[in-house]
């Protein structure tokens, strides 16, 4: 072995060269700043054609600049979501306190699987999980949880706990003949279908309960579905409620669901389903739970106080949940991956524990410090806890309150302006979050009246199809004529989760996740709609 060559590799790639690193970080930051002056979206066109055909790598060892050059076109060609014109989905810019946390995690690269691989980072995970649990559950005795790589996986943990509850020992024995089902709402996220498939329940056995016009699960339908399943001797592993649906910010009545599942379980003498809440988007509403509306110390605008109150009331329902998914990488403005799965009672997680002889190389593992004893993953990144604690303590409780109230106000402003146009109809006026879903029909049509007839099933199928076609056509027209430098990027949902008489409801959509978005952006959206209608 040529010791010199090894030494060269060590000095280039395994020794911290502050000057080189600062220079390259500086260059990356300059590119990020340069991006701010450009319209959002396509910085560079893609080249998928040769991505697979030409995956060449260097033969000779190079240096850190080769590393930079290898990724730079993709870094520059990727949108950092800093633009205030990005309103298309539940995706905002990460905040820079989170960057400080995430960079710290990357520099040390802790592995959260066991205490000995991450030294104090598991302690930070316990701390951040407990902080989040206190926000969510409000009063809780023994919360616990772990960071996962996304809301999908956090929901999967919830689903798995449900299976272990109604089919104890399934982890070891398998499901055998047990007929299982799970329940969500029609406005629930598709990750629930993912977990039903992956956990062996089967997509066909995941039942979607219709929602009301606030995109909230219809509780009488839930009750009927439970009767139906229990009469067929099917074990209902879980009900996954949603707090803040992805399209329209619908909120399920968690307390109401709890009451029904307990009552039905008693009636049929079975174990109650696990009640998991998918709050991937909506969990931030919990920052407002204890806000004193009467004295309004942050001087939040009067018009949003009723929405804050709605949010507070809904958030009290979390105390009835068994477990919750929160995506800090959505409205926590944190970095990927920062999703947390949190249980209200720590003993629930014991259902997932592996035996020490199942994890031979963690012979010393201790349930309290070594999540690898129950996590789905083995290695786990430290970004989540670092992003969460850096953000929560940088921005602070009141900082988050202001940011969330601001998003609510922007959404309300757009809702009010749209609703004032005769040819527009807002479809989620009552939901308190930062989402706006609406219809645009051609000028001259009375959108509210048409929607009323749609909801009451008074339209013929042809009429219905005609109107929905118009809503889509006008959206495409705006897309085709918009000026990307000034017109916000919106999106179109094929179904916002409310289906009057079984007909799915498509809509235009905007989500206010970027605190830089301002009134001028909203006014421009409205005038662009007036132009195309
Ligand atoms: C985004 C989202 C998910 C999935 O979360 P990922 O972090 O993208 O895996 C689940 N549920 C809801 C309601 C979501 O909005």
Instruction: Give the tens place of pLDDT for each residue, 488-513.
Output: 999 999 999 999 999 999 999 999 99
For residue 401, the model assigns a pLDDT of 98
Is the pLDDT reported for residue 357 higher than 80?
no
Pairing assessment for the beta strands 435-440 and 180-185 based on DSSP bridges: unpaired
> For ligand 1, is residue 191 a contact (CB within 6 Å)?
yes
For residue 53, the model assigns a pLDDT of 86
The two tokens of residue 253 are 């009545």
Q: How far apart are CA 164 and CA 200, in angstroms?
A: 13
For residue 181, the model assigns a pLDDT of 98
What are residue 211's phi and psi, to 5 degrees? Answer: -115, 165
Mutate to test the pocket of ligand 1, among 148, 150, 285 (most ligand atoms within 8 A of CB): 150
Is the pLDDT reported for residue 434 higher than 80?
yes
Is the pLDDT reported for residue 356 higher than 80?
no
Domain boundaries in the chain?
101-293+318-400
Q: How far apart are CA 28 and CA 30, in angstroms?
A: 5
pTM > 0.85: yes or no: yes
What is the chain's mean pLDDT, rounded?
A: 95
What are residue 280's phi and psi, to 5 degrees? Answer: -50, -45
More confident residue, 222 or 49: 222
Closest CA to 239 of 286, 181, 195, 186: 181
Lowest mean pLDDT among 15-24, 37-46, 176-185, 271-280: 37-46
- Mean pLDDT score, 6-20: 97
Q: Are 521 and 488 in contact (CB under 8 A)?
A: yes
Task: Name the burial class of residue 360, with classes exposed (0-12), middle (13-18) and buried (19+) by CB atoms within 10 angstroms of its CB.
Answer: exposed
DSSP 8-state class, residue 183: E
Q: How far is the CA of 78 from the centre of ligand 1 (A)?
A: 21
Is the pLDDT reported for residue 354 higher than 90?
no
Pairing assessment for the beta strands 235-242 and 274-278 based on DSSP bridges: parallel
Residue nearest to atom 3 of ligand 1 (CA): 151
What fold is seen in the domain 101-293+318-400? 3.40.640
Q: How far apart are CA 23 and CA 26, in angstroms?
A: 5
- Mean pLDDT score, 291-295: 98
> For ligand 1, is residue 166 a contact (CB within 6 Å)?
no
For residue 365, the model assigns a pLDDT of 66
Three-state secondary structure call for residue 200 = coil
What are residue 495's phi and psi, to 5 degrees? Answer: -170, 115
The two tokens of residue 180 are 């299982």
* pLDDT more than 90, % of the chain: 88
More confident residue, 201 or 367: 201
Query: What is the band of 55 on the pLDDT scale with cuts at 50, 70, 90?
Result: confident
């Amino acid at each position: 072995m040529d010791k010199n060559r090894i030494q060269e590799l060590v000095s280039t790639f395994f020794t911290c060269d502050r000057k080189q690193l600062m220079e390259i970080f500086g260059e990356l930051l300059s590119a990020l700043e340069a991006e701010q002056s450009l319209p959002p979206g396509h910085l560079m066109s893609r080249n998928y054609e040769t991505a697979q055909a030409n995956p060449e790598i260097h033969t000779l060892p190079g240096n850190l600049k080769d590393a930079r050059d290898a990724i730079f076109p993709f870094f520059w060609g990727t949108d950092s979501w800093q633009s205030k014109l990005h309103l298309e989905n539940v995706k905002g810019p990460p905040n820079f306190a989170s960057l400080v946390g995430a960079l710290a995690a990357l520099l040390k690269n802790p592995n959260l699987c066991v205490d000995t691989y991450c030294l104090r980072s598991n302690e930070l995970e316990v701390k951040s999980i407990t902080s989040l649990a206190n926000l969510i559950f409000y009063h809780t005795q023994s919360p616990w949880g772990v960071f996962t790589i996304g809301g999908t996986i956090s929901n999967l943990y919830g689903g798995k706990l449900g299976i272990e509850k109604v089919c104890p020992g399934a982890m070891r024995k398998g499901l055998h003949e047990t007929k299982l089902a799970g329940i969500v709402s029609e406005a629930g996220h598709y990750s629930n279908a993912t977990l039903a498939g992956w956990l062996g329940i089967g997509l066909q056995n995941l039942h979607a309960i219709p929602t009301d016009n606030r995109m909230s699960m219809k509780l009488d339908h839930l009750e009927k579905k439970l009767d139906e399943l229990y009469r067929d001797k099917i074990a209902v592993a879980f009900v996954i409620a949603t707090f803040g649906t992805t399209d329209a910010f619908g909120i399920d009545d968690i307390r109401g669901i709890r009451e029904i599942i307990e009552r039905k379980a008693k009636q049929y003498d079975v174990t109650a389903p696990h009640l998991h809440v998918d709050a991937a988007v909506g969990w931030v509403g919990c920052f407002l739970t204890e806000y004193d509306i009467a004295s309004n110390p942050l001087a939040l605008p009067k018009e949003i106080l009723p929405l804050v109150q709605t949010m507070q009331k809904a958030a009290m329902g979390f105390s009835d949940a068994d477990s919750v998914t929160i995506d800090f990488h959505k409205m926590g403005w944190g970095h990927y991956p920062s999703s947390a799965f949190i249980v209200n009672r720590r003993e629930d997680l014991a259902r997932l524990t592996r035996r020490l002889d199942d994890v031979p190389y963690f012979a010393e593992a201790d349930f309290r410090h070594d999540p690898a004893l129950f996590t789905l993953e083995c290695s786990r990144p430290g970004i989540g806890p670092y992003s969460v604690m850096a953000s929560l303590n940088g921005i602070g409780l009141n900082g988050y309150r202001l940011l969330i109230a601001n998003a609510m106000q922007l959404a309300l402003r757009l809702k009010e302006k749209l609703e004032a146009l005769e040819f527009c109809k807002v479809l989620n006026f009552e939901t308190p979050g930062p989402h706006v879903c609406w219809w645009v029909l051609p000028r001259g049509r009375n959108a509210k009246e048409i929607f009323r007839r749609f909801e009451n099933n008074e339209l013929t199928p042809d009429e219905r199809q005609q109107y929905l076609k118009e809503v889509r056509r006008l959206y495409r027209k705006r897309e085709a004529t918009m000026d990307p430098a000034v017109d916000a990027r919106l999106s179109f949902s094929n179904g916002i989760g409310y289906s009057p008489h079984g007909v799915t409801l498509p809509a235009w959509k905007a989500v206010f996740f970027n605190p830089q978005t301002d009134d001028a952006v909203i006014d421009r959206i409205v005038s662009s709609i007036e132009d195309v209608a």
